Structure 1
Amino acid sequence: MRADARKNRDHLLATAGAALAEQGTDVSLRDIARRAGVGLATLLRHFPTREALLEALLRTSFDELTARAAEFEESRAPEDALVSWVRDCVAWTTAYRGVTVLMAAAIDDPDSALHASCVTLRAAGARLLARAQSSGTARPDLDGTDLFALIAALAWLGDQPALAPRADHLFEVVAGAILVSGVVKGAAGAGS
């Protein structure tokens, strides 16, 4: 890709990221183009569909969360690695209102542009969960799909203005339910 085309693409992604954080996943493509100072056709030339734009925008974050799972797996106790990674995932998904719905749909749709990234992210969480289960610190009746659903549920709570003040407490309750001991070491916010 030419340097000027790469610069334009990066500008569109930065603009889309800011718009997504402010307005959620239903942000208008026309609004993103306007904010970026380009025509809608220019945006669509780089990203022919909303899903293609979201995939390009979210893939980097998914890759970072996947890498963080591997880092935690190597550097932390199994239960701490799992809870810290789930906390990071919830924090990230809460930053982009509506992204959990897209992620949940993409997991079941192999034709979705987001499918591969979501499946990889879920697999990273499943490995952390399996490691904690092998150490006897996580419930044996959960799998990666359950963990992904719990992350989505916790992120949804953070999206609800009336429930947002309870989000940290509810995170601790859910994380405690994942662990065999039922106790999350390092209260809200610790471990990330």
Structure 2
Amino acid sequence: MIEADIAEAVAAGVDLADEFTPADALIEWLVYLAWHLRIWHDLPYCLADAHMDRESPVAPSTTRLIAQTQVLLERAQAAGAARPDVSAAEIFELITAVSWATDRFGDNAEAARRRALLATAGLIGAESTLEAPTQRASA
């Protein structure tokens, strides 16, 4: 079942590349991942673990997600829209942590989007036209 979800995620990444500028496609992909990975409780933890343990049965899923991140990152870097000193693996680690927080803090889609955009703000800089939703009222 996880393989189907990962295939769906990768397909979404391909679609984003067709719909957005290179900078926005990368950021929308990361927002998508932060929201999508939280669908199974502790999936972000499992993916992070698999990223560190190549023998993990979940490692192929992690590899596919990082590969799609790499495609979008390279496209944004080639356009001069993304930092040249960051790797897809580093970005994946960051967005996995954001997804974990999205799950743990019970974010709705808007709050998750805001969290992901704030976390990735230094990746693109002024090239992105995306705006973070307004801050939600604290509890």
TM beyond 0.5: yes
Are 1:69 and 1:85, in contact at CA under 8 Å, matched by a contact in 2? yes
Q: Does 1:119 align with 2:119?
A: no
Q: Does 1:74 align with 2:18?
A: yes
Matching residue of 1:3 = none
Distance 1:140 1:180 in 2: 12
Post-superposition CA distance 1:106-156 (Å, at most 9, x none): 123332221112101111011101111111111111111111011111112
Corresponding residue to 2:123 among 175, 178, 181: 178
Cα offset, 1:184, TM superposition:
4.8
Percent of matched pairs sharing the same residue: 24
Matching residue of 1:85 = 29
Post-superposition CA distance 1:79-107 (Å, at most 9, x none): 11111111111111122221111111112
Matching residue of 1:26 = none
Distance 2:112 2:32 in 1: 13
Distance 1:105 1:88 in 2: 20
Cα offset, 1:170, TM superposition:
2.7
Corresponding residue to 1:109 among 34, 53, 64: 53
TM-score of the aligned structures, taking structure 2 as reference length: 0.81
Corresponding residue to 2:91 among 147, 160, 163: 147
How do 1:14-53 residues align onto structure 2 when only pairs under 5 Å count? none
Cα offset, 1:68, TM superposition:
1.5
For CA contacts below 8 A with separation 6 or more, give which structure has more relative contact order: 2
When Rg is computed on C-alpha atoms for both structures, the one with the higher figure is 1
Change (3 A) 1:64 1:108: same
Q: 5+ unaligned residues in a row in structure 1: which ranges?
A: 1-56
Give 3-state SS (helix, strand or coil) of 2:76's partner: helix
TM-score of the aligned structures, taking structure 1 as reference length: 0.61
Cα offset, 1:183, TM superposition:
5.0
RMSD value, Cα:
2.1
